[in-house]
Amino acid sequence: MKFLFTSFGIWSFTILCLIVFGRRERLCSVAGGLGVISGSLFAIASGVTTLLSNSYECFYLNWNYIGDKISFALDPLAAWFVIPVCGLSLLAAIYAIAYDWDNETGYSKSFSWILFILLLASMVLVICAANGVVFLMAWEVMAVSSFFLVIRDSAHSHSSQDAGWIYLIATHLGTVFLVILFLLAQAQTGSFDFMVWEKQGLNIPNRSLLFLLAAIGFGTKAGFVPFHIWLPEAHPAAPSYISAVMSGVMIKTGIYGLIRSIGWFGAPIPHWWGIAVLVIGIVSGVLGVLFAIAQHDLKRLLAYHSVENIGIITIGIGVGLVGLSYDNAGLIFLGFSGAVLHVLNHAVFKGLLFLGAGSVLHSTEEREIDKMGGLLKRMPLTGVAFLIGAMAISGLPPLNGFVSELIIFISGVHSLLSKDVTIGLCGAAVVGGLALIGGLAAACFAKAFGIIFVGEPRSDKCSKAEESSPLMTIPMLVLAMLCLVIGLSGAWLVAGVAPQIVQNISKNTSLDFAGYQSQLSNALMFVGLTGGLLIVLLALFVLIKKALIKNRTVSYGLTWDCGYTRPTARMQYTASSFAQPFLELFKPILRTRHHYHVHMPDNMFPQGANFHTETPDICHTEVYRPVFLKISEILMKFRFLQHGYIQIYILYIALTLILLLIWKIR
Amino acid sequence: MKVQLLLILVLLTNLKLLGSSRLGSSIRTVAIQGSLLGLLPLFIELDSLNWRVMTLAIGTVFLKGFVFANLLFRAINVANVNREVQPFAGYVSSLLYGIVALIVSFWLGQILNLGQLSYSPLIIPVSFFGIFSGLFLIVSRRRAISQVLGFLVLENGVFTFGAGIIKMTSLLVEIGILLDVFVAILVMGITVFRISQECDHIDTDKLITLKD
Amino acid sequence: MTISILLKTTISILASLILAPILLGIINRVKAGFAGRVGQPLLQPYYDIFKLLKKGLFYSTTTSWIFRWGTLVSLAVIVCALLIVPCGPFPALISFKGDIFLLVYLMGVVRFITVISALDTGSSFEGMGSSREMFFSALAEPALLLALMGLAKVTDSFSLTSIANTLSATNWFNNGASLALLMGTLFIVLLSENARIPIDDPNTHLELTMIHEVMVLDHSGPDFAVINYISALKLWIFSAIIAPVLFPIHTNNIIADFSVWLSGMVLISIAVGIVESSMARLRLTVIPQFLLGATALAITAIVLTWIG
């Protein structure tokens, strides 16, 4: 806990320095970066020590206004979430120094860095809060600071501002549910303290209603379908390192809240909760990846993949909940371990991918996938890092995405092999759903990497692209190394850390996790060994091939182009064509719109033609838009109240005061 | 054991119907399904064979396997129908519906556990699956012939249930059902023929113009 | 690990590595027999690989290091995948609860690398092949995993080696229908993943019909030899998953067991050859329905195990 306070102290001091430095841009960047880095290091240290020692620390401050105490707690579950939050922010800060070095951004550098530190500090506070009021205040600061960061670069583009507004409204609507939940809990137990809620077990007015409130409230932040529509708007609009932080760790605070809230409802929980969460997870996963395949904009594609991975995490949580409702130790352990590990893994590879996208954007000033190409030769380090990130998010061994998906798959198999039919059906759904999600994600990233980084550049800006500065590439390479390391060493993570975290969630000390833990460690050890074997074999084969072709002729030339005399780079396969079979098969869900413009030829030669597809988000266009338009129609009727005469406004105030007086006198 | 195998084959024919695209093969599949179900009482009462069961089995196989198929083939040949089925729901949706219906049927089988009353635990799931498939075929296909096929599949589902549950008295019920179905098919065949003569097509979608 | 187990495992791995291309030879001979020809010699795939290994290399200037070294990464990955599959009575080297998923995803790595190597050349043909390949395998993967889950459910274990060891004739007796349906699904996935008719035509190189063949158009010399060998190993791995289901016979004689298993593999290759000779390739728009049908069969098999 002491480390955590040091972090907060450093961050507050940095904010002060930033206010003082004011206009000195370069100094602000360096100061902000150093502040974030040092604070994060201390926070990570506190998280690691908590995990290693399996301790639980609390801190109280008396405050007589609302609730009785302000309390913070750091237990293994919170520590596990603090580590990726601070780790990714650390790397993003290093990246940000270089990204903004020469850029003219909407705000001054000091304001930008102040917002970043506020975002980071509020995220850590949300995770460590043990009191409803503190939680909500930190939640609000997180939402507002990220909103300002999202609209930072929107001076030139209108759509960025719209994205910011959608984000702000969505997050506040979600927070409303949380406020109602906390108020109901306080009404029942008399305090805002989480420990009190856990001890008493919330069930008034109705446990299921409270669970729904929690699911919707936290789900909006996490990005469950159908509450996810702000994700594909806000993440592309924000500067890339902010997208990395938002997508990698901010949405995980929603997941953290959901897992925390499971402990408040007391055991045993009804069966349908787990099944509902499982269904939400599968739907989010499949819909997220389907919409991702249909996108042309790299950052929007990555945002939809965040929805998909949140779906995978939710599948794990769903399995764990089913296990909790049936008191099945295997399902609880495997489901929650998989979910929690995927939280870490997703932070790593999604952060990596967004930083890579930012690097590409920085060099080429181009966001559309179909205008890029051949960037691997021009930006080798970014390319390698993006490749590793793409393979990790597709769940390919020996990287980290495979490890967490394997754990969730094994939990699905355990469900399938159980005697109960309902659990068995859940298991089959988990395996089938996750298999489909994995296959589609691999297809989407084969498209993304294949079109952006290899082949020939499809536009001039891309042919002139240059590798980004080391401050931008080093964080990416660090994250890529982390993908490989976690992939190979998953066994030790599970053996060391998972039992305490799961124990934190399930609170039932009679269940025995040791058997499952050893089985899982065994499995992951083999995965790590396979990874090692792969690297050894690869090295061997490379040596053999080099020896083999030492005296052979190696000739170079153009790719076979079927005899065309003037091939151009635009004749290559495009990303839209790559994705077309998927869009065709899933047409009822995606509803891609095709727009053609063809100029009919009036002589021998063809005139220009133009083809353009767009896939608007189905929840946005079918659900939210009509509802909000209807609400705005109804509210328009009250427009007459706003007419501009200041005297009548003062009359309104006077009337209200008189009414209050009458009401209180009676 | 043989009963189990028979029921699984019936289930597979239902799946094939849901994913099938051509009228000719659909009619043949329904004929095969009918023949399999005709053999069902035979296999159920394999130890206590008597001439009633034998005649019933042979009669059902003849009726469901050959007569109905013949009638339907003649109807589509005379009416010069386009052999490709045009459904309202695509084939992918039909197969997805089939998978969901399968899971629901098996779940119903678990809930309505009849224990000793049924000859095999597969009876209820297969019969419900037949009923669901038949209903789906009636609702989602355009051609009148496909709807007749859907009705036949529905009756097959009910027949499965009856044959698998009751013992000896079932014979009377089955004869009754068979007569029912025979008359229905005859009437439907004639109606389809007449419709095609009047309207030059048997697209039920266009039959709504009759309402004016 | 005792010496005898180590010896057995080494022998089985070497046997797999050496014998894999014969399956391709058997399929070609069966197809030739159906066409009334004598056909290539059984060992022709070996001759092809050795001939290619002796040739020089040609690289397109568009390609990067991914194209040059991608085939070797695929080879390393597929050899690791081979170590997960049991060969008859010999247990697999890498065997743990859940190795099914490692196998399937290692195949996914091979596919991913092949696809990005294909896109690396900047050729539209290869782009088209890549798109179709990722599309069909995204639909085939749930079918494959659900079929393997069905096998796990029937044998109550989920490691490939323990599934192969637990399968016996009693399983066919009790869950015969499920096993038959699962074998059907696995066979369809074999045809899909190994680019056989009715999904893809391994003989032609026209845009209309190709998926797998087109992705490797630009590879030459030793690279192409490695690619041919990888496809042979892929066929071997998929057949090795089906073979224990086909002939689940366990005597205590290692030679007898291994011969039975080998004959199962040969039988599967002959079946592939027969299917290739008697069917035409399906239209591309029909293939998703076909794969969905395979998934439906797998789900039916799983649902049946709850009753039987």
> How do the residues of chain B divide into helix, strand and coil, expressed in percent and rounded to 5?
80, 5, 20
Contacting subunits of C (3+ beta carbon pairs below 8 A): A, B
Let me know whether A636 and A599 are in one domain.
no
The pLDDT value given to residue A634: 92
Let me know whether A465 and A349 are in one domain.
yes
Let me know whether A608 and A472 are in one domain.
no
Among residues C226, C272, C216, C200, which one has the least CA distance to residue C48? Answer: C226
- How many Cα atoms are found within 13 Å in the side-chain-facing hemisphere of A334? 31
Q: Which residue among A577, A605, A632 closes a domain?
A: A577
Let me know whether A608 and A636 are in one domain.
no
Q: Count other Cβ atoms within 10 Å, centred on residue C131.
A: 26
In a domain, A278, yes or no: yes
* Lowest-pLDDT range of A69-83, A166-180, A189-203, A605-619: A189-203
Read off the tokens for C253: 């004689």
Q: Evaluate if residue A290 carries a pLDDT over 90.
A: yes
Q: How far apart are CA C220 and CA C202, in angstroms?
A: 17
At residue A59, what are phi and psi to the nearest 5 degrees?
-145, 130
Domain boundaries, chain B: 2-209
In a domain, A398, yes or no: yes
Q: Evaluate if residue B168 carries a pLDDT over 60.
A: no
Q: How far apart are CA B24 and CA B72, in angstroms?
A: 10
In a domain, A521, yes or no: no
In a domain, C10, yes or no: no
Q: Residue B11: closest CA among chain C residues belongs to which residue?
A: C300
- Contact check, Cβ <8 Å, A588/B110: no
* Helices marked H in C56-123: 65-82, 99-120
In a domain, C14, yes or no: no
Nearest-neighbour CA in chain A from C27: distance (Å): 29
- Contact check, Cβ <8 Å, A588/B107: no
Q: pLDDT averaged over chain A?
A: 87
Let me know whether A313 and A337 are in one domain.
yes
Nearest-neighbour CA in chain B from C296: distance (Å): 6
Let me know whether A454 and A349 are in one domain.
yes
Average pLDDT estimate for A79-101? 90
Task: Give the contacts of B123 (CB within 8 A, at least 6 positions apart).
Answer: B7, B114, B160, B161, B164, B165
Let me know whether A602 and A629 are in one domain.
no
Which value, to the nearest 10 degrees, does the dihedral of the CA atoms of residues B150, B155, B160, B161 take?
120
Q: Count other Cβ atoms within 10 Å, centred on residue A626.
A: 10
Q: Evaluate if residue B200 carries a pLDDT over 70.
A: no
More confident residue, A388 or B71: A388
- Could you tell me the pLDDT band of residue A158, with boundaries at 50, 70 and 90? low
What residue type is assigned to position B135 of the chain? L
Read off the tokens for A115: 């917002």
- Could you tell me the pLDDT band of residue B37, with boundaries at 50, 70 and 90? confident
Quote the pTM value. 0.90
The pLDDT value given to residue A173: 92
Would you write out chain C's pLDDT as a tens digit for each of its 308 residues?
A: 578 888 888 888 998 999 999 999 999 999 999 999 998 899 999 999 999 988 888 898 888 899 989 999 999 999 999 999 988 888 888 888 889 999 999 999 999 999 999 999 888 888 888 999 999 999 999 999 999 999 999 888 888 888 888 888 888 888 888 899 999 999 999 999 998 888 888 777 666 667 888 888 888 889 999 999 999 999 999 999 999 988 888 888 888 888 999 999 999 999 999 999 998 888 888 889 889 999 999 999 998 888 75
Q: Evaluate if residue A589 carries a pLDDT over 70.
A: yes
- Could you tell me the pLDDT band of residue B199, with boundaries at 50, 70 and 90? low
Q: Residue B8: closest CA among chain C residues belongs to which residue?
A: C177
- Could you tell me the pLDDT band of residue A509, with boundaries at 50, 70 and 90? low
- Contact check, Cβ <8 Å, A573/C124: yes
* Lowest-pLDDT range of A198-207, A290-299, A420-429: A198-207
Task: Give the contacts of A349 (CB within 8 A, at least 6 positions apart).
Answer: A389, A392, A393, A399, A400, A401, A479, A483
* Helices marked H in A549-666: 575-585, 587-590, 618-619, 625-636, 646-665
Task: Give the contacts of A625 (CB within 8 A, at least 6 positions apart).
Answer: none
- Contact check, Cβ <8 Å, A425/B103: yes
The pLDDT value given to residue A66: 61
Domain containing A385 equals: 272-493+572-577
Average pLDDT estimate for A76-105? 87
Q: Which of A275, A279, A416, A421 to mutate to test the interface with B (most CBs of B within 10 A)?
A: A421
Highest mean pLDDT out of A22-36, A340-354, B65-79, B140-154: A340-354
Contact residues, chain B to chain A, C-beta under 8 Å: 92-93, 103, 107, 110
Read off the tokens for A219: 């789900």
Total number of domains constituting chain A = 3
In a domain, C5, yes or no: no
Q: pLDDT averaged over chain B?
A: 78
In a domain, C18, yes or no: no
- Contact check, Cβ <8 Å, A421/B107: yes
In a domain, C17, yes or no: no
Inter-CA distances, A272 with A261, A311, A423, A506, A531, Å? 16, 18, 11, 17, 39
The 10s digit of each residue's pLDDT in A527-539 is: 888 999 999 999 9
- Contact check, Cβ <8 Å, B19/C177: no
- b/e code A438-460 from CB counts within 10 Å (16+ = b): bbbbbbbbbbbbbbbbbbbbbbe
C57-60 and A554-557 as β-strands: parallel, antiparallel, unpaired?
parallel
The 10s digit of each residue's pLDDT in A643-658 is: 777 788 888 889 999 9
Q: Which of B8, B91, B105 to mutate to test the interface with C (most CBs of C within 10 A)?
A: B8
The 10s digit of each residue's pLDDT in B40-95 is: 877 777 666 677 777 777 877 887 888 888 877 877 776 666 655 566 777 888 88
The pLDDT value given to residue C213: 81
The pLDDT value given to residue B173: 63
The pLDDT value given to residue B170: 58
Domain containing C303 equals: 24-307
In a domain, A549, yes or no: no
- Contact check, Cβ <8 Å, C116/A571: no
Read off the tokens for A334: 């495997």
Look-up of token digits 């009619």: B27
Contact C89, C247 (CB under 8 A): no
In a domain, C273, yes or no: yes
- Contact check, Cβ <8 Å, C296/B12: no
Total number of domains constituting chain C = 1
In a domain, A314, yes or no: yes
The pLDDT value given to residue B25: 86
Q: How far apart are CA A382 and CA C231, in angstroms?
A: 32
* Lowest-pLDDT range of A399-408, A633-642, B17-26, B125-134: B17-26
The 10s digit of each residue's pLDDT in A303-337 is: 999 999 999 999 999 999 998 888 888 888 889 98
Q: Residue A442: closest CA among chain C residues belongs to which residue?
A: C112
Let me know whether A643 and A597 are in one domain.
no
Contacts B15 to C, Cβ<8 Å: 293, 296-297, 300
